[in-house]
Amino acid sequence: MTLSSPADPKAAKALGPPPADHAPLKAGKIGVMLINLGTPDGTDFKPMWRYLREFLSDPRVIELNKAIWYPILYGLVLTTRPKKSGANYARIWNREKNESPLRTYTRAQAEKLGQALGDLPEIVVDWAMRYGNPSTASVAQRLVEQGCDRILSFPLYPQYSATTTATANDQLFRALMKMRAAPAIRSVPPYYAEPVYIDALARSIERHLATLDFEPEVVITSYHGIPKPYSDKGDPYQAHCLETTRLLRQKLGWSDDRLITTFQSRFGAQEWLQPYTDKTVEKLGHDGVKSIAIVNPGFSVDCIETLDEIGREAAETFHHAGGEKFAHIPCLNDSAEGMAVIEAMVRRELAGWV
């Protein structure tokens, strides 16, 4: 016996109309949820404490046994780090909107994506944070309340890691676990080697370098690091980062020593992926390199790790080591190049739904 697919309109017509007492069914809308890492709600101690507690309590981020990690987290980290991190955030804070640049740029990406998908009236675009606000759960509920029975999740990380992409999707499914009528879910895969992404990076780099009054001797692609044991256990993040740099080098037509890869933002005492960005920048200065530029291909928008850690700390390190000219190349953010990447990935992954 062969059953006709309910998705076939001819088959549905042949079956006839539903009975009068049949519950009405409506064609649902499709939600597109851009998900970024997260941001504190403010730079004071309390909002920083809340944000860091949520972030550093995630077992995808810190894989230590809770019996070992929680005494350190609550006894040392959360008593000292909120003040220091708050001071760093204060330097880059969007005073006009009273929020971090990461939130400003992610909102702008969602707004521009909604406009770009204006030819698809069934699409509802929204944005969320894995840690902080707007929470993933609240945005998922908001999309469902707007009639979305399908959601395309877009973790805004070009290179996959369990510490980023996986935990973003974990959080979305936790929200679904509390819903009686949960929507169907798709997730945009990592796009570290997508031609549209590599092209966008190359154009962005070339455009920014053209505005400088110097030509960098070395350009560094600096990615957020992860502990080396995570990579050793099978996280593909390092391989994804190296492939992005290789393809970008190929696209730009640069040599291996003109465009190099490093990893930043290490935390704690264990070994992280190397070479480290700060150590590399310092060594370049000591070795007589006078001009460098740094770009962050692993970040979809500028944030504390790019604007302060690279834009301020790395610059200071390079200058103290003897370097003279330093430039930080902005992330793709909501630029035309950046939005072309997001739109292309979303349209591709919506195939079959629209």
Write down the pLDDT at residue 22: 66
Is there a single domain that holds both residue 287 and residue 273? yes
Please check the confidence at residue 2 and state whether its pLDDT lies above 50: no
CATH number at residue 115: 3.40.50.1400
pTM for this entry: 0.92
Please check the confidence at residue 171 and state whether its pLDDT lies above 80: yes
Q: Is the separation of the CB atoms in 171 and 136 below 8 Å?
A: yes
Is there a single domain that holds both residue 200 and residue 186? no
Mean pLDDT of the 228-245 span:
98
Range of the domain at 89: 29-191+336-349
Nearby residues of 280 by Cβ (< 8 Å), 6 or more positions away: 220, 260, 262
**117 φψ region: left (φ > 0), alpha (ψ -120 to 50), beta (else):** alpha
Edge-first strand listing for the sheet containing 218-224:
259-264, 218-224, 291-295, 325-329
Write down the pLDDT at residue 3: 43
Structure tokens at 305: 């790790």
Domains in the chain: how many in total? 2
Is there a single domain that holds both residue 177 and residue 239? no
Asked whether residue 224 is marked as a ligand-binding residue, the answer is: yes
Please check the confidence at residue 6 and state whether its pLDDT lies above 70: no
Nearby residues of 215 by Cβ (< 8 Å), 6 or more positions away: 209, 291
The verdict on residue 23 lying in a domain is no
The verdict on residue 134 lying in a domain is yes
The verdict on residue 207 lying in a domain is yes
Write down the pLDDT at residue 268: 87
The verdict on residue 153 lying in a domain is yes
Question: How far is residue 282 CA from its own chain's centroid?
Answer: 27
The verdict on residue 81 lying in a domain is yes
Is there a single domain that holds both residue 61 and residue 165? yes
Write down the pLDDT at residue 23: 64
Give the pLDDT band (50/70/90) at residue 5: very low
Write down the pLDDT at residue 7: 55
The verdict on residue 354 lying in a domain is no
Is there a single domain that holds both residue 202 and residue 256? yes
Write down the pLDDT at residue 47: 98
